[in-house]
Chains A and B, each alone.
Chain A
Amino acid sequence: MSSQAAENRTDPMSADRPTKPPSAALQSEPQSEPISKPTSKPTSKQADPHILLDAVSVGYGETVIQRDLSFGVRRGDVFVIMGGSGSGKSTLMRSLIGLLAPQAGRILFDGESFWGAPEQARTRRMRRNGVMYQSGALWSSMTLEENVALPLEQYTNLRRGQIHEVAVYKLALVGLAAYCDYYPSEISGGMRKRVGVARAMALDPDILFFDEPSAGLDPLSARLLDDLILELRESLGTTMVVVTHDLASIFAIADDSVFLDAATRTMLTTGNPRDLREHCEIKLVRDFLSRGGE
C-alpha cells in the first residue's frame, strides 16, 4: 500500500510546488475562492484542499479559545499554524488530530467530515494521520524500535522480521537506526522528537502533524528537524501541518500558514509567511513575523 500511495502523491507534488501563485498567499481573508493553482494533473481531487476547516470553533468546556476558523490546507503543502502563546494553536491541533471535538463547524479531510463521521470511520481516518507530539510522547516502557513497531504490529499483517526491517528503516530515516534498543529516557530531547517523527511516519501517513517541533531544541537540532520535514515532504509528498511560533522555522518550511490571534480569538489571515511579513495589511501579523521591528 505504501509504495503505491507514495507514488501517487509524489507526482503532482514536485510539479506544483514552485509554481504557487503569490496572490493566493496575499489575501487576508479566509480562502473563500477555490484554489486555482496550475497542476500537472488537474483532476478534481487535487483541486480540493486536503484539509478544509469550515467555521470551526475550538475550546474547552464553555470557554471558546478560537472561533470561526475557515481555511484549507493544500495537498503536499507544509502548512504552519502560527500565533502567540496562548492563542489556541495546540488546541486547534487537538481538534485536527481527533483528540478534542470542535465546539462548532466542520473539519473535512479529503472532503469527508471528520467529527461528523461515526467513531470507527474517524479512527480509520486518524490512523492515516501521523502526529509528532511536542515532547515526542514516546511510550516510555518500550525501546525506540518497539515504539516505531507498535503501529505496524497493530495495523499491518507484516511478519515479525518484516516489522523489524520497517522499524529500523524508519529510524534510519531520522538518523537513529543505531539506537534501536535504547529506551526513550536514555536519549536526548532532540532525538526523542526525531523518534516521534519516525513513529508518526510508521504507517506512511497522508498527513503529518507536528506540535512545536523546534521548541526546546538548540538552533542546529531545530534546523535539522526542519530539513527533515522538508525532505520527507519532497520524497513522500506528505501534507505537513506544523504548529509553531518559531520564526526561523516558519520561514524555512512554510508554504502556507494561518495566523491565530489570542485577543480577538480568531484567525487574522492566511498565506505564505514571507509574503505576509512584507505585505500583510494587519500590523500585528507583520510585527509577529518580524519580531516587532521592521
Chain B
Amino acid sequence: MRILVGDMTDPVSNPVKPHPAARIKLARDQASHVVVAIGGAWRLDADLPDLDRIDAELFAEPGPASIAFETSDLVAWDSGLVSYLASLAWRCRERGIEVKEEGLPDGIQALLRLASSVPERRAEGRDEHADPFLRRFGLDFIDLARSTGEILAFIGEVTLALRAMLSGRARFRRSELWLLVEEVGADALPIISLISFLVGLILGYIGDQQLAQFGARIFVADLVGLAIVIQMGALITAIVLAGRTGAAFAAQLGTMQVNEEIDALRTLGISPVEFLVLPRLIALVAMTPLLAIYANLMGILGGAFAGTVVGGLSPTEYFTQTVAAIGWNHITQGLISATVFGAIVAVSGCLRGMQSGRSAAAVGEATTSAVVTAIVFIVIASAGLTIVFDAIGLS
C-alpha cells in the first residue's frame, strides 16, 4: 500500500500549508542527455503539467540518447505522476531513447515496472474493424429476417401454450394470474381516468369552438362520443398499458433472464411461455377491454364537462345527444380494438423480456424495445382494423 502514494511532508504537523504546485523542468547537461527535474505535489486533484508541452522541447533535434530523473523537490505524488511518467517513458521508448529510472523514488519505479509488464493480450475472436456499407446492409437485413422469424416463432409458442391451456394442461399458477389481473387492471385506473378525461375535455373544447361558428354546438356530443368510443378510448388504454404494463413485463422477464430464473424453469421442464407469458397475456387481454370501457366513460365525461361549461349545453341535452349518436356497432369496434391492442402489448412486452440479454443494459434495451414495438404494432393494427371494420360493415 505504501508505494501507491508518496508524501514527503508530514500532514499532521503542518496541516494548513498548501502543497506547492506540480512542476517539471528539462535540463540538457550534455547534448545527448536530458535530466528531467520533477518538483512540487503531483496529485490527480491538482493542476498537472501537460505532457505535450514538454514534448517539443524534449524531442527537439538532435533528440537525446537518454533521459534521467531528478526528484529532490518532489513533495507528494500519486497516480497523477506515475501515469505521466509512464506515457513519457512510452514516448521515449518509441523513439529509442533510453529511460534511466534510478532517479525516481522506489515506489514509482515499482509501479512503472508493473505497468509495463502487463502482457497485451486481447480476447480472441473480437472483431472491431469497420464493415463496409454493403456488408453492414446485408447483416442488418439478415438480422431483420431473423428477428421477424423470432417474433413468429414466439407467437407460435404462445399459440401452442394457449391450446395447452384450453385443454387444461398448461402449467401456471392461478394465484399469480389474479395478482397480475390486479396489477394490470385495477392499478391502472387512476392514470387512465386522468388521461381519458383530459382527452375528452380537449376534444370537446376544440370541437365546441369549431362547431359554434355555424351554430351546431350540440354536435360536440356526437364528435366526442364517437371519437372516444370507436378509437380513442381503446388507443389511450393501449398506449398507457404499453408504457405501464408492457415495460414492466419486459423488465420482469429480462431480470429473470439475468438471474437465470427462466433457465431454472426450463430445466424443471416447465415451459416459461406457459408459466410466465400465458398468465400475462390472459390478464392483459381480459383487462384491456374493461379498461377501455372505463376510458370511454371518462372521455365522454370530459367532453360533457367542456360541452356544458364552455359550450353552455345542459347535461341532459348532452347525454341524450351522446346516447343517440353512439350505436352498438361503435362500441363493438372499440372493444375489438382494445382486445387486439391488449394482446399486442402483452406479446411485445413478454417477447422482448424473453429475448433480453444477461446484463443490466440489456434489460433496459428490452424495456425500451417492448414499448416501441407495442406502440408501432398498435398503430398498424389500429389502421388495419379500421379497414376491416369498414369492409365488414361495422362502421
- Interface set of A (CB-CB < 8 Å, partner B): 63, 97-99, 123-124, 126-127, 129, 131, 133-135, 137-141, 150-151, 153-155, 199
- Closest chain-A Cβ to B308's Cβ sits at a distance in Å of 47
**A140-B261 contact given A63-B125, A154-B171, CB 8 Å threshold:** yes
Q: Which residues of B contact A131 (CB under 8 A)?
A: 263-264, 267
Q: Is there an interface contact between B267 and A129, defined as CB atoms closer than 8 Å? A: yes
CB-defined A-B contacts under 8 Å, sample of 7 = A63-B125, A98-B266, A126-B267, A135-B259, A139-B256, A150-B270, A154-B171
Q: Is there an interface contact between A154 and B263, defined as CB atoms closer than 8 Å? A: no
Task: List 7 additional A-B contacts (Cβ < 8 Å) besides A126-B267, A134-B260.
Answer: A97-B267, A137-B260, A137-B264, A141-B176, A154-B171, A154-B270, A155-B269
Closest chain B residue to A202, Cβ basis = B268
How many angstroms from the CA of A63 to the CA of B125 in the assembled complex? 9
Q: Which residues of A contact B259 (CB under 8 A)?
A: 135, 137, 140
How many angstroms from the CA of A67 to the CA of B171 in the assembled complex? 37
How many angstroms from the CA of A63 to the CA of B126 in the assembled complex? 12
Q: Which residues of B contact A151 (CB under 8 A)?
A: 268
How many angstroms from the CA of A222 to the CA of B198 in the assembled complex? 59
Interface residues of B in 101-117 (CB under 8 A from A): none
Closest chain A residue to B255, Cβ basis = A140
- Closest chain-A Cβ to B301's Cβ sits at a distance in Å of 36
The contact string, 1 if C-beta is below 8 Å from chain A, for chain B 152-178, is: 000000000000000000010100100
Closest chain B residue to A146, Cβ basis = B173
- Interface set of B (CB-CB < 8 Å, partner A): 125, 171, 173, 176, 255-256, 259-261, 263-270
Q: Which residues of A contact B268 (CB under 8 A)?
A: 126-127, 150-151, 154
Interface residues of chain A: helix, strand, loop or mixed (majority): mixed
How many angstroms from the CA of A149 to the CA of B259 in the assembled complex? 19
Q: Is there an interface contact between A99 and B263, defined as CB atoms closer than 8 Å? A: yes
How many angstroms from the CA of A133 to the CA of B268 in the assembled complex? 12
- Closest chain-A Cβ to B170's Cβ sits at a distance in Å of 11
How many angstroms from the CA of A256 to the CA of B334 in the assembled complex? 66
Q: Which residues of B contact A150 (CB under 8 A)?
A: 173, 268, 270
Q: Which residues of A contact B260 (CB under 8 A)?
A: 133-135, 137
Closest chain A residue to B259, Cβ basis = A137
Q: Which residues of B contact A154 (CB under 8 A)?
A: 171, 268, 270
Q: Which residues of A contact B266 (CB under 8 A)?
A: 98-99, 126
Q: Is there an interface contact between A127 and B264, defined as CB atoms closer than 8 Å? A: no
**A123-B263 contact given A63-B125, A141-B176, CB 8 Å threshold:** no
List of 9 A-B pairs having minimum Cβ-Cβ separation, nearest first = A137-B260, A123-B269, A137-B264, A127-B269, A133-B260, A131-B267, A97-B267, A126-B269, A137-B261
Q: Is there an interface contact between A139 and B269, defined as CB atoms closer than 8 Å? A: no
How many angstroms from the CA of A151 to the CA of B263 in the assembled complex? 14
How many angstroms from the CA of A116 to the CA of B326 in the assembled complex? 60
How many angstroms from the CA of A81 to the CA of B173 in the assembled complex? 36
Residue of B171, B173, B267 near A99 (CB, 8 A) is: B267
How many angstroms from the CA of A114 to the CA of B282 in the assembled complex? 34
Q: Which residues of B contact A139 (CB under 8 A)?
A: 256, 261, 264-265
- Closest chain-A Cβ to B259's Cβ sits at a distance in Å of 6
Residue of A63, A123, A124, A138 near B261 (CB, 8 A) is: A138
- Closest chain-A Cβ to B40's Cβ sits at a distance in Å of 43
- Closest chain-A Cβ to B311's Cβ sits at a distance in Å of 50
- Closest chain-B Cβ to A281's Cβ sits at a distance in Å of 27
